[in-house]
Structure 1
Amino acid sequence: MGLVLTRIYFPEGTQGILEWNGTLVCYTIELPWLGNQRRISCIPEGEYVLQKRFSPKFKWHLHLRNVPGRDLILIHPANDAKKELLGCIAPVAQHSGVGKGIYSRKALEKLKALVYAALDRNEEVKISIQSNPSTPLRTTRLKKSR
C-alpha cells in the first residue's frame, strides 16, 4: 500500500496533497526546501517506509525511516510549519496559508486509520514524496542579516 505526497514549494513553506491509492486523504504542511538542512528544511523527495511510533508529546503518530542526512522525521499534528515543525510533515484538513493549515489532529487520525490498518495486516507502507510536475522545485536561500 502506498501514499503519495505531491508538494508545491514556496519560500515561506511547502504545501502538499496526500493521497492513498489515488484517493485524497488530507493536505500537508512542511518547512520550505532549504537543501535538507536539519531543523529548518523539509526532507528530500523520495520514497520512505513508514512505521508506527508513540511519544508522550504526540501520542501515536508515524515515523519515516531512512531519510538521508536526517533522523526522527515524523508525521505529527501541527498547524504552523515554521512554529511547530523541525523537518517533519504535518497533515492538515485544509490549507490556511503557506505552511499553515487547520484541523491537523483530525487529519492525522484519518491518515493513521488507513496506514495502521495496513501495518496491522503486516503490509509494508511507503510514502512517495514528489513535486507537482507543473511547479518544479524552487530553491530558496537563507536571507543574510544586514
Structure 2
Amino acid sequence: MRHLKLTTRGVPGVGTFGELTEQGQKLCVTVERDWNNNLPNISCVPAGEYTLRPHVSPRYGDCLVIEAPSLGVTATGPSQRSHCLIHPANWPDQLEGCIAPGLEFHPDRWGVKSSRTAFKRLMETITEPVKLTIVRH
C-alpha cells in the first residue's frame, strides 16, 4: 500500500497549514481549520494513521475521505468525527473539519492557491486506498 505523509503546523486562531508528500516528494500544500479539541466541523482532525480513499460525498461529489476508526474518524459514522474529506477550498473558514489542497500557499492571506488544480491532480493520483500519516507540529 502506498504511504503519504501530511506534516502540518498550526497557527493559533488562524488555521493549520501543511505539506502532503509521498516518499519525500511534495504532492501539494494544504489548509485546514485550527486545532479546536477535535470538535466536529470546527477542528482539524487529530494526528495519527489514517486510510485515505476515493469517496463520493453528497455535498462535494467525487472527493477523498480519511478514516481511522481507532481515532474516532469514519466516513459516515457513527463516530466522533465523520465526513472528514479532502476537497477544494482556499481558506480555513471554508472548511468544516476537512482538508483542502493547493499548489502553493497564498502570498497575501492565510490560505492556498489553485486548490481545484491540486485537487484534480490528487484525484488522478489516488485511485485506491492509501495509508496517510498526519503529523502535527
- Shorter chain as denominator, the TM-score bin is 0.7 to 0.9
Equivalent residue in structure 1 for 2:19, among 10, 17, 20: 17
Q: Shift in Å at residue 21 of structure 1?
A: 2.1
1:16-50 alpha-carbon deviations (Å, 9 max, x no partner): 00002221000000000111011111000001111
**TM-score (norm: length of structure 1):** 0.79
In structure 2, how many angstroms separate the alpha carbons of the residues matched to 1:42 and 1:65?
Answer: 13
Say yes or no: does 1:111 pair with 2:119: no
**One-letter identity of the residue aligned with 1:6:** T
| Aligned Cα root-mean-square deviation (Å) | 1.4
**One-letter identity of the residue aligned with 1:127:** L
Q: Shift in Å at residue 55 of structure 1?
A: 3.2
In structure 2, how many angstroms separate the alpha carbons of the residues matched to 1:31 and 1:56?
Answer: 21
Structure 2 counterpart of 1:2: 3
**TM-score (norm: length of structure 2):** 0.84
1:77-97 alpha-carbon deviations (Å, 9 max, x no partner): 101111x11000000111113
**One-letter identity of the residue aligned with 1:61:** C
Matches within 5 A, 1:1-146: 1-11=2-12, 12-55=14-57, 57-66=59-68, 67-68=71-72, 69-82=80-93, 84-96=94-106, 97-98=109-110, 100-116=111-127, 119=128, 124-131=129-136, 136=137
Q: Shift in Å at residue 57 of structure 1?
A: 3.9
Unaligned regions of 5+ residues in structure 1, if any? 137-146
SS in 1 for 2:121: helix
Unaligned regions of 5+ residues in structure 2, if any? 73-79
Q: Shift in Å at residue 56 of structure 1?
A: 5.3
In structure 1, how many angstroms separate the alpha carbons of the residues matched to 2:58 and 2:11?
Answer: 32
Q: Percent identity?
A: 36
Structure ranking higher in strand proportion: 2
**One-letter identity of the residue aligned with 1:105:** R
**One-letter identity of the residue aligned with 2:42:** I
In structure 2, how many angstroms separate the alpha carbons of the residues matched to 1:21 and 1:88?
Answer: 23
Over alpha carbons, which structure has the higher Rg? 1
